[in-house]
Amino acid sequence: MARRQETISMIDTFAEFKELKNIDRTTLISVLEEAFRNVISKMFGSDENYDIIINPDKGDFEIWRNREVVDDKDFEDANLQIKISEAKKIDQDYEVGEEITDEVDFAGFGRRAVLNLRQALASKILELQKDSLYNKYKDRIGQIVTGEIYQVWKKEILLLDDEENELILPKTEQIPGDFFRKNETRRAVVIKVDNQNNNPKIILSRTSPLFMQRLFELEVPEIHDGLITIKRIARIPGERAKVAVESYDDRIDPVGACVGMKGARIHGIVRELCNENIDVINYTSNTTLFIQRALSPAKISSIKIREEDKKAEVYLRPEEVSLAIGKGGLNIKLASMLTEYTIDVFRDIDIDGEDIYLDEFADEIEVWIIDALKNIGCYTAKNVLSMDRNEIIEKADLEENTVDEILAVLQAEFEDE
């Protein structure tokens, strides 16, 4: 009866390991063989003369022992040798010096051997599962995953993926407006995978700029296909964000593509991020123009760039200052994060009622010329008139006669006044 129980126990052991996920067949066979050899080695001092055949598909195995046939008087080791008198009982043709191979009943080793095997296998399989989980998610850092909320705690949320692996969403990585209920699903990006003491811990985030980037990639086909690139993202999670995008195809409007028809594309992202307000702007390597766009909707009078300490002094009409700063200082804070410049805002009192924005000269000066002047920090007529003629030619990369025509138009405006 005891022998039958041990055999059933062995069958159960294989039934458990046959169903393991994330462990390939070759590794499983190797692990099972290693476990058998460890037990055999402990019992007999060596496993070198044993052949172990594993069949995980059927959930069974075979153990064959190889022993040398020796004369009865030379017999010393029952594990490595067999007496000629015993060999003859198996087959009369055996001779001294030959090798005899016979199948071993592992259950016959006793209950302790079976128990040791099960414990060794359980320990090794658990180790392999942890290694598999770590390697799986290590390669998914930066990707979005979906998990079902399993437990809500004060400092973190425990989610389960589709294979019931545990995922952690810390409080610090949750959007302030997030509300979690058990059994609901949530999306987040994998930001870190710890593996202390071979105990994988998968950390998720919903506040990372990378989460927003991955959502844009899902919602905007042109980004997924590489036609539009997200160059920079600045976020204050749950409040507001600015995203700078660039198109590699002149026929594609990157801002329009990201927003979608009637805002259809961006609305899905906004809903996922708890109604976070998202500004999408065109990226440019021109620092002055980039800062101008980042401070939208404010209209800038002029900008002074200090490259050595990454600072920008921005001058605006008094009524534009509040727009540049934004509610609670969010607009200027995000613009500084996006452009990577410290932005200081100043009231340009000289322009109020006495200066004119260059855009108002669009009927006399071509738009591309106005843009060239803006690129060097000139947004108003007096900005241009205050500069040296040769400096304008050099910095704006304009022809001499073009600059002379511009200066004539602007000077005439003030002479007429």
7-32 as b/e: b if 16+ CB within 10 A:
eeebeebbeebeebeebeeeebbebb
Cα 33–chain centre separation:
37
- pLDDT the model gives residue 206: 96
Q: How far apart are CA 137 and CA 190, in angstroms?
A: 8
Q: DSSP letter for 65, please.
A: E
Q: How many residues does the structure list for the chain?
A: 417
Domain ranges of the chain: 2-135, 148-205, 218-347, 358-416
Q: How far apart are CA 252 and CA 221, in angstroms?
A: 12
- pLDDT the model gives residue 176: 92
Q: How far apart are CA 17 and CA 11, in angstroms?
A: 10
Q: How far apart are CA 391 and CA 259, in angstroms?
A: 39
Same fold, 2-135 and 148-205: no
| Nearest Cα to Cα of residue 147 among 196, 182, 179, 171 | 182
Q: Which residues contact 46 (CB under 8 A, 6 or more apart)?
A: 79, 80
Instruction: Name the E strands within 129-255.
Output: 144-152, 156-160, 166-170, 185-196, 199-205, 228-236, 240-247
pLDDT in tens, 213-238: 999 999 999 999 999 999 999 999 99
- pLDDT the model gives residue 1: 42
- pLDDT the model gives residue 54: 80
pLDDT in tens, 243-286: 999 998 888 999 999 999 989 899 999 999 999 999 999 999 99
What number does CATH give the domain 2-135? Answer: 3.30.1480
- Kindly report each contact of residues 115-118 with a partner whose C-beta sits within 8 Å and lies 24 or more positions away, as own/partner: 116/39, 116/42, 117/10, 117/13, 117/35, 117/36, 117/39, 118/9, 118/13
Q: How far apart are CA 105 and CA 17, in angstroms?
A: 20
Q: Which residues contact 408 (CB under 8 A, 6 or more apart)?
A: none
Q: Taking the model in full, what pTM does it have?
A: 0.67
Q: DSSP letter for 12, please.
A: H
Going residue by residue through the chain (417 aa), what tens digit of pLDDT does each one get? 444 444 444 545 555 555 555 566 777 778 778 888 888 888 778 888 888 888 766 667 788 889 888 898 888 888 888 898 888 888 888 888 889 888 887 776 777 777 877 787 778 778 888 888 898 899 999 999 999 999 999 999 999 998 889 999 999 999 998 999 999 999 999 999 998 887 899 999 999 999 999 999 999 999 999 999 999 999 999 999 999 999 988 889 999 999 999 898 999 999 999 999 999 999 999 999 999 999 988 888 888 888 888 999 888 887 788 889 888 889 999 999 999 999 988 877 555 456 787 878 888 888 888 888 877 777 788 888 888 888 888 888 889 999 899 998 888 887 755
- pLDDT the model gives residue 73: 87
User: What single string gives the DSSP state of each residue in 77-146?
Assistant: -TTTEEEHHHHHHH-TT--TT-EEEEEE-GGGG-HHHHHHHHHHHHHHHHHHHHHHHHHHHHTTTTSEEE
- pLDDT the model gives residue 7: 45
**Does the 218-347 domain belong in CATH 3.30.300.20?**
yes
| Nearest Cα to Cα of residue 107 among 116, 119, 96, 98 | 116
- Please name the CATH architecture into which domain 148-205 falls: Beta Barrel (2.40)
Residue type, 417: E
